[in-house]
Structure 1
Amino acid sequence: MSTTTSPETGRAPRSPDKRRRGIPLAHLDLHHVSLLAVLGVLALIGGLTQPSQFLSTDNLQLILTQASVIGVVTVGVTFVIIGGGIDLSVGAIVALASVWCTTVATQEFGLAGMLLCSLLVGLACGLVNGVLIAYGPMVPFIATLAMLASARGLALQISDGKTQVVTVQPVLDLGLPDAYVLGIPPLVLVFAVVAVLGWLVLNRTTFGRRTVAVGGNPEASRLAGIAVKRQRLLLYLVSGLCCGIAAFMLVVLTGSGQNTNGDLYELDAIAAAIIGGTLLSGGRGTITGSVLGVLVFTTITNLFALNNLQTDVQQIAKGAIIVAAVLVQKGRNSA
């Protein structure tokens, strides 16, 4: 039986089944397993150094709750990076949304009004970013950097540099232990829902396939009939929506809105996505990896706090993890 050969390689092409079972999928699974192994090592260290505190139910709930807010932001950032963009404004958008939804005027509309305000502010900022980048056109780095400065400035102006205390009791009640569902804080459940929806959209919808295609090769995507500009606009809307959700979660967690909220969230979210396996150049990434990346960083922060270690050492450790993750990515790409 004759076999056809590839004109480029001179070898017989692999069958679709073999292609699906090939190296990329193996690498993906291996990367997730390695992140789980890192979490296991961190848990072992915590169990050995502070067994009574680290392994307590309260501390585990604290880790998951702290991971929830930045985790929701990371889901949105992951979509943007996979689509070939970058968003440096997520922390500032979180601050602006949290301040705007905790003004006295907004709080008069109760929980629903505050939540709607936070979501609309996030979407509006995402829309501005998307229009500037997709139709401007502006480089994502510059457009989102401008949004970072503008949103921070507006948040400072609205709050006048003061902490805006939440007086709406239903909002405050969401952060109390009485609101836990089977011992799980509501914020953790929100994070889980956002992560699952993100995974489904990325892996099971046309939107997700178009996101990967646009991030991998925008010109080929355009020639294939994909509306690249519209796709980029939608990606920044997704990021803005996630920021709006995270802002309201932060308000529930702290009981206030401040212009300093979300400080350095952009760096933490990008770093979590990268160590989770998302390529900074676009075209590849997973929500599962990003979630694991968030959990790794949050657990490290918790361990350092429990062991009274200095923040600068913690930042050095995070930096080393990011460098290691990038080197692993480069090794996988060159293999």
Structure 2
Amino acid sequence: MNSPASVASKPVPPPAKEGSASRRLPFDMRQLSLVGVLLALAVVGAITKPDEFLAAENLRLILTQASVIGVVTVGVTFVIIGGGIDLSVGAIVALASVWATTVATQDFGLGGMLLCSVLVGVGCGLVNGVLVAYGPMVPFIATLAMLASARGLALQISDGKTQVVTVDAVLDLGIKDSYVLGVPPIVIVFAVVGVLGWLLLNRTTFGRRTVAVGGNPEASRLAGIAVKRQRLLLYLLSGLCCGIAAFMLIVLTGSGQNTNGNLYELDAIAAAIIGGTLLSGGRGTILGSVLGVLVFTTITNLFALNNLQTDIQQIAKGAIIVAAVLVQKGRSSS
């Protein structure tokens, strides 16, 4: 048996980066397969609804709808790679959107609303992180408790009513005059968050520590990584993404509601899974998660254009998730 000293002397293996190779299947094959799925969906849309699906307005709509849940998914991906789970993201988005659209908050204008939304998200992430890292509580239970608490607080603050935004500077971000080269500001924010998330995961010590902690927490601790602090930071990052997404949703809808972010946690986790993130932690990619979000959003758009029932759409999404998990199991056992 190896002594603790000998275990500690063994270096933690470096994380696999996007583009690295496994023994049988190149790591980027999952991203290529998702691109193939997107192309196939585009072909289906071009055949079934050529005038509507390929219209620039509809393509902007797909990107806009993907942006809010996409930002949430970036944060969730980090948490899962780090060996955790976050079931509270949808409720945090709802709470942040409601808190940021109260009359008192709107009196501070765009800056006050944005700051409030971000602080609420980070505050909820801090609570999750403390409970998981220092509680210690199982991530499932801690974030489930946050889900219930945040939803209840959002309902209490809003009294079940829709809070309409009256700040012109916020509403103006959602109109065509604010588009940059035809691209809505919300989509630009999604792109920036995605790029920053990719850089953080693949080009920084924080990203390497995240992968190490998710892959083997004990070996990471013996190698000198502050595992508890790393887990806390991951939930703070997830909360930050929720706060940003909440403000994006406010811009998109012009209101704050306690029902916002409904089932975002499931959509975000599903997008991360089909993008190659292991639920057991230790591996995942931001690019894969973004592609996963785009796949689900495009499916939703196609079903809406073709007037297909929602239940069939959910079955299709479920089949995709099952297929992705089976592929993961096949790769891990090879």
* TM-score bin (small chain): over 0.9
Q: Distance in 1 between the 2:230 and 2:20 partners?
A: 29
Q: Distance in 2 between the 1:332 and 1:222 partners?
A: 27
Deviations 1:150-172 (A, max 9, x none): 00000000000000000000100
Equivalent residues in 2 for 1:1-335, closer than 5 Å:
22-23=21-22, 27-335=26-334
SS in 2 for 1:28: coil
Q: Distance in 1 between the 2:25 and 2:59 partners?
A: 31
SS in 1 for 2:332: helix
Q: Distance in 2 between the 1:219 and 1:86 partners?
A: 18
Unmatched tracts of structure 2, length 5 or more = 1-18
Give the root-mean-square deviation of aligned CA atoms: 1.0
Q: TM-score, normalised by structure 1?
A: 0.93
Q: 1:93 to 1:276 in 2, by over 3 A?
A: same
SS in 1 for 2:181: coil
The one-letter code sitting in structure 2 at the alignment partner of 1:109 is F
Q: Counterpart of 1:13?
A: none
Unmatched tracts of structure 1, length 5 or more = 1-19
Identity %: 84
Alpha-carbon shift at residue 245 of structure 1 (Å):
0.1
SS in 2 for 1:27: coil
Q: Counterpart of 1:14?
A: none
Q: 1:169 to 1:24 in 2, by over 3 A?
A: farther
Q: Distance in 1 between the 2:129 and 2:20 partners?
A: 36
SS in 2 for 1:302: helix
Q: TM-score, normalised by structure 2?
A: 0.94
Q: Distance in 2 between the 1:325 and 1:21 partners?
A: 19
Q: Distance in 2 between the 1:23 and 1:327 partners?
A: 17
- Runs of 4+ aligned residues of structure 1 deviating over 4 Å after TM superposition are none
Asked if structure 1 preserves the Cα contact closer than 8 Å seen for 2:20 and 2:28, the reply is: no
Q: Distance in 2 between the 1:231 and 1:27 partners?
A: 29
Q: Distance in 1 between the 2:99 and 2:133 partners?
A: 27
Q: Distance in 2 between the 1:115 and 1:164 partners?
A: 16
The one-letter code sitting in structure 1 at the alignment partner of 2:175 is L
Asked if structure 1 preserves the Cα contact closer than 8 Å seen for 2:20 and 2:26, the reply is: no
Q: Distance in 2 between the 1:104 and 1:21 partners?
A: 51
Deviations 1:96-148 (A, max 9, x none): 00000000000000000000000000000000000000000000000000000
The one-letter code sitting in structure 1 at the alignment partner of 2:41 is L
Q: Distance in 1 between the 2:24 and 2:249 partners?
A: 36
Alpha-carbon shift at residue 25 of structure 1 (Å):
9.6
Q: Distance in 1 between the 2:62 and 2:235 partners?
A: 28
SS in 2 for 1:284: coil
Identify the range of structure 1 (76-85 vs 25-34) with the bigger mean alpha-carbon deviation.
Answer: 25-34
The one-letter code sitting in structure 2 at the alignment partner of 1:310 is Q
